[in-house]
Amino acid sequence: MKLSIVIPVYYNEGNLRPLYEDIKEKIIDVIGYEYEIIMVDDGSGDESWKVMNELRERDQNIKLYHLSRNFGSHAAILCGLEHSTGDCAVVKAADLQEPTELILDMVEAWQQGNSVVLAVRAGREEKMSQTFFANMYYKIVRTACLPNMPETGFDVYLIDRKVISVLSRFDEKNSALTGQILWSGFRTTLVPYVRQARTIGKSRWTLAKKVKLVMDTLFSFSTLPIKFVTEIGAVSFVAAIILAVVELTAKLLGYITVEGWTLLFIFELLSFGITMLSLGIMGEYLWRTFDATRKRPPYIVEDAVDDVPADGHASTGKSAYVADDMKEHAGDIPEAVL
């Protein structure tokens, strides 16, 4: 048996050394099977890549990948999964907010026959603002998209090799990897834990990234946005007919002696707002369709330090390209990426 631990890295230079020591003490020195640690630098602007190379010198079971820019945590995780060689892979954050020994519980649950093991939060030692957004997001997802999403959500998970193979074949842009895992429907179980407060560094999970995650999840796994357009259009049409009947009746009965330009102005303004909102939602769908047709890879690996075979790739993932080898794949990569 071989365990892969995938760690996306983004401005985590202060976390990486204590993270590895924690993994070594609680996992590496305890388990009796093979392991590999795959760290993916998602375009960090600090010394994360340097620290990663230092750790690689200490442990040859560590694989390193440096993306050419910041593609987002989900792309970095996908890169790590596609380059993993274990029988199962655990995705763990680099911020030390999840207890490392949780990995052992997840592996045990996987050995019982589960293809997906989700580490769900039984509690959070974080600010109320962070907790509020997270709870709101997962409630929206459960209601509108994925009813099998755990109530408190999940960021840490273990997936079987066959699940990794399925995720690698997905050809979706602007999607959520966690949503793809739930949508795939493999046998799943939950392992609870308490999320700890962050003590080193600061979160780079900005409001813009949070909003994008909500939009990507809704547009990828729910028909709610397009149904919203249909329903608001139907309500507006009915309201317009009622208003027209009322105005016409009042006019025939002589109650209106002066043309109601104010009412007309309000109605036109409301109609314009509804039209623009509808166009915006339709535009989101059109943009995602256009982005998918360009077939750009979800990430580009600029540098890699691993034990890859002679062909230059540690896996057969179709989305991964090492910058030095991209010309060899010129027939598979759009010219805009070269």
Q: What is the pLDDT of residues 125-146, one digit of tens each?
A: 566 666 777 777 778 777 777 7
Higher pLDDT: 82 or 277? It is 82
3-state helix, strand, coil in the chain (%, to 5): 50, 15, 35
Give yes or no for residue 210 having a pLDDT over 80: no
pLDDT number for residue 303:
86
Summarize pLDDT for 299-311 with one digit per residue, the tens.
888 888 876 443 4
Summarize pLDDT for 93-133 with one digit per residue, the tens.
888 888 899 999 999 999 999 999 999 887 765 666 667 77
3-state SS, residue 271: helix
pLDDT number for residue 292:
65
- Separation CA 73–CA 52 (nearest Å): 17
Measure Cα distances from 140 to 174, 187, 233, 250, 285 in Å: 18, 23, 23, 44, 19
Among 95, 91, 290, 121, CA closest to 181: 91
Query: Phi-psi region for residue 320, left (φ > 0), alpha (ψ -120 to 50) or beta?
Result: beta
3-state SS, residue 11: coil
Give yes or no for residue 240 having a pLDDT over 80: no
The residue count of the chain comes to 338
pLDDT number for residue 337:
33
- Six token digits for residue 28: 């590496």
Measure Cα distances from 105 to 14, 139, 190, 271, 332 in Å: 27, 26, 10, 56, 40
Q: Are 90 and 156 in contact (CB under 8 A)?
A: yes
Confidence of residue 319 (pLDDT cuts 50, 70, 90): very low
Strands 301-305, 34-41: parallel, antiparallel or unpaired by DSSP? unpaired
pLDDT number for residue 114:
95
Give yes or no for residue 243 having a pLDDT over 60: yes
Beta strands in 60-171 (DSSP E): 62-67, 88-91, 116-124, 154-160
Give yes or no for residue 232 having a pLDDT over 90: no
HSE-CB of 251 using CA atoms within 13 angstroms? 9
pLDDT number for residue 310:
39
Measure the CA angle with vertex 218, ends 197 and 337; round to 5°.
Answer: 90
Give yes or no for residue 86 having a pLDDT over 90: yes
Burial (0-12, 13-18, 19+ Cβ within 10 Å), 209: exposed
Which residue type sits at 18?
P
Model pTM above 0.75: no
Give yes or no for residue 4 having a pLDDT over 90: yes
pLDDT number for residue 36:
95
What mean pLDDT, rounded, does the chain reach? 78
Strands 116-124, 154-160: parallel, antiparallel or unpaired by DSSP? antiparallel
HSE-CB of 195 using CA atoms within 13 angstroms? 20
Higher pLDDT: 35 or 265? It is 35
CA-CA-CA-CA dihedral for 330, 67, 91, 26, to nearest 10: 130
